[in-house]
Chain A
Amino acid sequence: MLRFAIPVVVLVGLLALLGYGLKLDPREVPSPLIGKMAPAFDLPDLAGTVRVTPLDLQGRPVLVNFFASWCAGCQVEHPVLMKLAREYGVEIVGMDYKDTPEAAQQWLARHGNPYRSLVADQQGQAGLDWGVYGVPETFVLSADGRVLYKQIGPMTEQAWREKIAPLMTPGGAS
């Protein structure tokens, strides 16, 4: 009887998906955006008073960090971001992804705020355009607004030292 073969058919589909997933490995595959201009967005800041676009991020290298109050990985990377902001004076722009401003404000009040500016991406539209797989993800933007690097998953001190810090110095960002 054919119905007893259903599980094996489902398995084949699942395995194909997982095999493809290995190729898509979110930590290994570089973003296709690297070297290109940061994708456009026009979104309110967290307070809802000012609108922010990528033009506002130009003129100096910045980190653009997609985070959310509901995200466990963001909790993990948070102390690292705090350290980058406080000790190294890195400018971090927070993209609050699929979240409510109230929840994000609470989260920041609770853990501390490493962000110099905050953008509310409530619908996740900017995340979609930027190719965000899941929060947290962090993009390194050069002074002329190009994507230099994308960190998938929590920011770590090692990633900062080895990959990101060299890109953020004026000489390295060419």
Chain B
Amino acid sequence: MAEIGHFALILALGVAIAQAVLPVIGYVRRDQRWLAIGVSGAQTQFALIVLAYGALSLAFVYNDFSLVYVASNSHSALPLIYRLSAVWGAHEGSLLLWVLMLTGWGFAVSLSSRRLPSDIAALVLATMGSISVGFLLFMLFTSNPFERQFPVPADGRDLNPLLQDPGLIIHPPMLYMGYVGFSVAFSFAIAALVTGKLDLAWARWTRPWTTTAWLFLTMGITLGSWWAYNELGWGGWWFWDPVENASFMPWLVGTALIHSLAVTEKRGVLKSWTVLLAILAFALSLLGTFLVRSGVLVSVHAFATDPARGVFILAFLTLVLGSALLLYAWRAPKLVSDGAVELMSREGLLLLNNVFLVAAAAAVLIGTLYPLVIDALGLGKISVGPPYFNAIFLPLMMPLAVLVGMSAKVGWKRARLRDALWSMRWVGLTSLICAVLLPFVLERSWAWLAMFGTLLAVWVMIGSLLDVIHRVRSKRDRWAALRSVPLGTWGMTMAHLGLGFWTLGVTYAGLFSVEKDVRLGPGQSAEIGAYTFTFQGTQHSEGANYRADLGTVIVERNGRPIATLHPEKRLYPSQGSVMTESAVDHNPRRDLYVALGEPIGESGEWALRLYYKPFMRMVWFGGLMMFLGGIAAASDRRYRLERRVPNPVAAAATQAAT
């Protein structure tokens, strides 16, 4: 079975090479038949990778420990669901998942290729094919998941227990969908540079793909943060770890890209900037892969590293990004925009938003690579921690929030700052009142930072609703007006609302979290504010592949019981590792979080960690809103409408081909 998978990978490599080369020849020779190879190549390649992926999954299902990869990452006692997710639990398999998604995106592009001019479709698919060649070579030469070993071990070494969590089942696939999805925008950018056709239609084709990639990345990052919060057991949700940064940088640039694509489509300006962002978003995704898998930086996420892999990815990075950016340097000067940009206009402010987002991405990049730079220059060894990132990132986000709030009131082309601000006066006043009152009402605090955070959050939330309100208010039939609001507008509204919720969550969870480290025996209790946590002791419990101490903590508020929490300390004997499973009682207003520390002495006493975290859910709820907003925006009717309108170029192409 495994050999079938291996063979499918080799075949896929051949197909990918054909898909990368032949359509380009077709483009040069203006030959429709050669151009069409892009579509069939992408579809064949996807089928082959699905076969390979299925083969590896079956090997996990049937515990085929003769495969090195299965033996290293599975165990006969591992539950089936985790055996399936273990396919992407380590380097080789996650690479296969990566390629599966890359070819999946290629497949999706090939299905919608009839809406595109045949040369654009062919060049996009050729670019995706060449990316795929690189990854398949990488997999076959340095990281083959189908490698056999003899003698066959009696049992596997088990999946890293950190990864045995529902959050981890979907976090990596979401993240990879996002990373890899930016390859579509990248390929569109390359096709535009090659053909020199960068028009409004180009921006319209690229937008839904970019938004789709972005929404997956958003969800992936959100899930990762949620997972870290539940699984690492110390109440944090973002650590500025190099690998988190690696996923966050493409997100920031991708967000900038979505906004600049909107400008390019609506106003035909910022073309070369948009193309550059499309290249950069994917460049940062590839850089992330390099950082995670080469071992140049130390991180909790790092895969087992091998110098040969680092050299290979670096060479690949050089080839892909070097040729893309050289092409950009050569062709971009010819992409003339049709107009100037006024700063005080919607496109001007969107450009400003781009500047802040890209600056934030650059700041994160610098912080992530700084230890490496200092080391390379021989200036000593340093490490960069959260203080740097918080100090530099948050100030960059504040003007962004201000801009998001007023976006609806600033028109395209030219607007007057005074008019825009005047029309926002009630929003500003409401935000100000909320800012002064909310921190006091909720947390009995008059802290400046809390007021400032609330001000921004409320400003963003109300501001993001203005567009919809505006569309509805002037109409007589409000219900019909509400239904006629395009999905794209709903998407933007939701994503911006999400940003508001996120800001609220970060402000309150950041400023008003209470943490208590206590030592409790059975029956003893500790208090945080109105909440009383009573420890009932621990029991021994047995899981499928672990043993656990299961604690029981009863939480009361003003003497009334509100929750029973069961934090766990698990021992996974196959790897000898100990995991903390924290227990959380949550509602939108606050999280109550309990984690078991260490047992102290023989009397049943434990070190426990208790947290009160106000508005913690808002952080992830914000991410979820952005995700849903992305779905709404990507499924806007006007992207699908075109299917019914025959595309003259494509129609001509089909005629020419038959």
> Chain A interface: which of B114-122, B368-376, B586-594?
B368-376
Which single member of B272, B322, B517 contacts A109 (CB below 8 Å)?
Answer: B517
Contacts of B329 in A (CB 8 A): 4-5, 7-8
Query: What are 6 of the A-B contact pairs (CB < 8 Å)?
Result: A11-B321, A21-B296, A21-B297, A25-B305, A28-B307, A127-B381
User: How far is the CB of A8 from the nearest CB of chain B, in Å?
Assistant: 4
A115-173: which have CB < 8 Å to B? Answer: 124, 127-128, 131-135, 152-154, 157
Judge whether A112 and B598 touch: CB under 8 Å: yes
Judge whether B598 and A128 touch: CB under 8 Å: no
* Complex Cα gap A154–B328 (Å): 42
Judge whether A25 and B310 touch: CB under 8 Å: yes
Judge whether A98 and B383 touch: CB under 8 Å: yes
> Chain B interface: which of A35-43, A70-78, A88-96?
A70-78
Which single member of A8, A25, A70, A71 contacts B295 (CB below 8 Å)?
Answer: A25
B577: CB under 8 A from chain A? yes
> Chain A interface: which of B68-76, B311-319, B481-489?
B311-319
Contacts of B299 in A (CB 8 A): 73
Known A-B contacts A5-B329, A15-B317, A79-B577; A128 and B381 likewise in contact (beta carbons under 8 Å): yes
User: How far is the CB of B354 from the nearest CB of chain A, in Å?
Assistant: 15
Nearest A residue (CB) for B369:
A17
Which single member of A22, A24, A71, A75 contacts B314 (CB below 8 Å)?
Answer: A22
Judge whether A109 and B296 touch: CB under 8 Å: no
A54: CB under 8 A from chain B? no
Judge whether B326 and A110 touch: CB under 8 Å: no
* Complex Cα gap A11–B577 (Å): 41
Which single member of A22, A73, A79, A157 contacts B298 (CB below 8 Å)?
Answer: A73
Contacts of B305 in A (CB 8 A): 25, 27
Known A-B contacts A18-B290, A26-B298; A4 and B328 likewise in contact (beta carbons under 8 Å): yes
Which chain A residues have a beta carbon within 8 Å of chain B's beta carbons? 1, 4-5, 7-8, 11-12, 14-15, 17-22, 24-28, 68, 70-73, 75-76, 79, 82, 98, 106, 109-112, 124, 127-128, 131-135, 152-154, 157
Contacts of B517 in A (CB 8 A): 106, 109-110
Known A-B contacts A22-B314, A72-B239; A111 and B597 likewise in contact (beta carbons under 8 Å): yes
User: How far is the CB of B367 from the nearest CB of chain A, in Å?
Assistant: 13
Judge whether B318 and A22 touch: CB under 8 Å: no
Other contacts beyond A24-B375, A73-B298: 15, CB < 8 A: A4-B328, A7-B280, A11-B322, A12-B322, A17-B373, A21-B294, A21-B297, A72-B241, A75-B234, A75-B300, A98-B383, A110-B597, A111-B597, A134-B381, A153-B298
* Complex Cα gap A152–B294 (Å): 15
B571-607: which have CB < 8 Å to A? Answer: 576-578, 597-598, 607
B333: CB under 8 A from chain A? yes
Nearest A residue (CB) for B294:
A22
* Complex Cα gap A57–B372 (Å): 31
* Complex Cα gap A149–B333 (Å): 55
Nearest B residue (CB) for A133:
B381
* Complex Cα gap A25–B372 (Å): 10
Contacts of A152 in B (CB 8 A): 298
What mask results when residues 278 to 302 of chain B are scored 1 for a CB within 8 Å of chain A, else 0?
0110010001001000111111101
Judge whether A4 and B578 touch: CB under 8 Å: no
Judge whether B296 and A18 touch: CB under 8 Å: yes
Contacts of B576 in A (CB 8 A): 157
With most chain B CB atoms within 10 A of its CB, the pick from A1, A4, A70 is: A4
Judge whether B373 and A22 touch: CB under 8 Å: no
The 7 A-B pairs at the shortest CB distance, nearest first, are namely A112-B598, A8-B325, A21-B296, A134-B383, A5-B329, A79-B578, A4-B332
